[in-house]
Structure 1
Amino acid sequence: MKQSLLTVLIVFTAFVSTFAQTTEISDVTLQNKIDVDGTSLILNGAGVRSKYFLSLYVGSLYLPAKVSDANKILYSKELKMIQLDIISSLITAEKMEETVRAGFKNSLNGNTAPLQKEIDAFISVFSEEIETEDIFKFVSDGTSTKAYKNDKLLTTVEGEEFQRALFGIWLGNKPADKKLKNLMLGQ
C-alpha cells in the first residue's frame, strides 16, 4: 500500500512539475523559461491582443528577471524578447504592416522620421503572408534587435532608439492594447 501511494505521489509531482513549466493562454502554450542566445529568460507576462472583440494574437514578454516597470524594460540593455503567437486568420501581412506602422507612430509620439529607415527595414518582416500559428519573436539586447518568424531570422536592426520604439508599441505610453501591456508587465 505504501509503495502504491509513493508511486502515485511521484507521478503526481512529475506531472505538476511539467505543467508548471508552461503557461497556456487562448490555446497557445508558452514556455515559462527559455534560452535565447545563451541567456535564460523567464515569462514576465502574456495576454491576448484583441480588437473589436476579436482575439488576434497572444503577446508575451520574456526577461532575465520579473519587471513590472515598462520604462525600466524599454531602457534596459539586458536581453529581452516579445513574442507574438498569431491566433486569428484575420491577420494578414498588409494588416500587420499597417498596425505596426501605427504602433511606431504612437510609440514615437507621431515623429517617426528619425527612425524611418529602421522602421522600413523592420517592416519587411511582414512581407510574406501570415497564417494562424505563425510565431514572431523580437529579441533585443538594448542596442540591436533581431526579428524572427517561426524561428527563422528575417532581419536585424541596429539602434537603442529603434528597440525602444519597437518595444514601446506594446509597453509604451500609447500601447497597442493597454490590457495586454498590463498583462505583459505581470500586473
Structure 2
Amino acid sequence: MTLKHSLLAGLLTLCTSLSVMAAPDINGVKIEDNITLAGSKLQLNGAGIRYKAIFKVYVAELHTTQKVSSLDELIAAPGPKRLSMTFLREIEAGPFGKLLTRGVEDNVPKNEMSKLVPGLIRMGDIFTVNKALLPGDVIHLDWIPGTGMVVTAKGKVQGEPFKEPEFFKAIMSIWFGPSPADFKLKEALLGQK
C-alpha cells in the first residue's frame, strides 16, 4: 500500500468513525441512540416524523430496554420506556389532546373505554393548560415501573403519574395499535423502516 493509499484509508476510517459517533438527526431534531430513565439505560427502538396531510407535526422517538416490534412487545418489555415528541410546528394543545382521545377510541375496544375516561379527561386537562405547543417543545410519555406513566411537557412534569398499565397501553395504542394515527410513523418507531 502506498503512502497516498494509507492516508486515504486513514481519512476514510476517521470520517466513518465521526459519522458513527454523531447522533442522528431528523428534520433538525437530534436523536439520541441511548438515554437513561429511572436509572435504566434505554436504547433507541426507532424514530420518525408524524405527518398530518402534507405537514410535518413532530419528530417521535421510542426508547426501550430491548428492541420491540409491536404494541404487545412494547408493553411486555421490562423496565422503563419513553415515547418523545419534539414539535416542528405550532399547534394548539387543546385540539391535540382531543386527537389523542380519538386515537385511543380508534384502537381500544368499546367495552374498555369506560375505564379509561378518567385518565383521558386528565390527559385533556394537561394539554388544555399548556395552550400551545411551539416548534422545539418536547413531550415525554415515560412508563416507569412502580410509578406509572409520567407526562412531561416543556420540561415540566404534568400532574400525578397515570398508575394504570391499561391506561399506558391505551395511550401507546395511538401510535402502535391496529389503527395508528400514522402507519409510516408506527413502522419507523418499531424499527421496521
TM range (shorter): 0.7 to 0.9
Residue of structure 2 equivalent to 1:181: 186
Is the contact made by 1:43 and 1:60 (CA closer than 8 Å) also made in structure 2?
yes
Counting only pairs closer than 5 Å after superposition, residues 1-187 of structure 1 correspond to structure 2 as 12=15, 15-19=18-22, 22-89=23-90, 91-110=91-110, 111-126=112-127, 127-128=129-130, 129-141=132-144, 144-155=148-159, 156-187=161-192
TM-score (norm. length: structure 2): 0.84
SS at match of 2:133: coil
Identity %: 25
RMSD: 2.3
**Structure 1: any 5+ residue segments left out of the alignment?**
none
8 Å contact 2:48–2:185 — kept in the other structure? Answer: yes
Partners of 1:74 and 1:55 lie apart in 2 by 27
C-alpha separation in 2, matches of 1:39 and 1:77: 10
* Shift in CA distance, 97/8, structure 1 to aligned 2, threshold 3 Å: same
**Contact 2:87 / 2:138 at 8 angstroms: preserved in 1?**
yes
Q: Summarize deviations over 1:13-54 as a string: whole Å, max 9, x none.
A: 6623431xx121122111111111111111101111111111
In the superposition, the TM-score normalised over structure 1's length comes to 0.86
Residues 107 and 75 of structure 1: is their aligned pair in 2 closer, same or farther, counting only changes over 3 Å?
farther
- Residue pair 2:151, 2:158 contacting (<8 A) in 1 also: yes
Q: Which has the larger radius of gyration?
A: 2
Q: Structure 1: how far apart are the matches of 2:33 and 2:59? A: 14
Distance (whole Å) between structure 1 residues aligned to residue 56 and residue 12 of structure 2: 39
How many angstroms apart in 2 are the aligned matches of 1:150 and 1:40? Answer: 22
The worse-fitting range, judged by mean Cα deviation, of 100-109 and 160-169 is 100-109
1:86, 1:131 within 8 Å by CA — same for their partners in 2? yes
What CA distance in whole angstroms lies between the structure 1 residues aligned with 2:183 and 2:75?
Answer: 16
Distance 2:34 2:134 in 1: 25
The separation in 1 between residues aligned to 2:102 and 2:134, in whole angstroms, is 21
Count of residue correspondences = 183
- 1:114-168 deviations in Å (ceiling 9; x for gaps): 1111121222321212111100000003561000013321131110100100111
